[in-house]
């Protein structure tokens, strides 16, 4: 039986995951880092928060980072109605309320679910980034 060094393990998974029940679903997320600004990342469709592994170390050196597996992606539970963009947008609003933050400085919003809902979050989001992969 071989063992994997902690350094190799940290390279493969540079963050610890946690779970929170949001809108009746178990949702996986990770948070880490320090900085004056908070960055929120949503798993790019159809990936998981592990898509951010290549960029995680660099981001967490500068920012407090929160990454969320959207319902049905990664290890988060799914619900069929949430695969419609408007419904997923409503879920994301609930997730932002449920997870720790006061003001989001950068929100990775590479999903069409934000197009209609973006104005609702102007009071807590100072910058939107439209992209999927940050690696």
For the chain, the structural domain boundaries read: 6-129
Edge-to-edge strand order for the sheet containing 106-108? 17-22, 25-32, 64-68, 38-42, 106-108, 128-129
Per-residue pLDDT reduced to its tens digit, 86-109: 788 788 888 888 887 655 665 555
More confident residue, 65 or 113: 65
Report the pLDDT averaged over residues 5-34.
Answer: 81
Residue 1: pLDDT above 70? no
Q: For the chain, what percent of residues have pLDDT higher than 70?
A: 65
**pLDDT on residue 92:** 83
- What CATH number labels 6-129? 3.40.50.1820
Residue 49: pLDDT above 50? yes
- DSSP H or E segment with residue 38: strand 38-42
Backbone angles phi, psi at 118, to 5 degrees: -50, -45
């Amino acid at each position: 039986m071989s063992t994997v060094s902690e350094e190799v393990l940290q390279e493969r998974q540079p963050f610890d995951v946690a779970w929170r029940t949001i809108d009746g679903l178990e949702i996986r997320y990770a948070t880490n880092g320090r900085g004056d600004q908070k960055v929120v990342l949503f798993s790019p469709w159809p990936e998981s928060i592990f898509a951010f592994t290549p960029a995680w170390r660099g981001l967490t050196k500068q920012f407090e980072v929160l990454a969320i597996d959207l319902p049905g992606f990664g290890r988060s539970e799914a619900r069929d109605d949430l695969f419609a963009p408007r419904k997923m947008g409503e879920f994301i609003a609930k997730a932002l309320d449920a997870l720790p933050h006061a003001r989001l400085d950068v929100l990775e919003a590479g999903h069409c679910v934000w197009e209609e809902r973006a104005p609702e979050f102007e009071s807590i989001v100072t910058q939107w980034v439209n992209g999927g992969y940050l690696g």
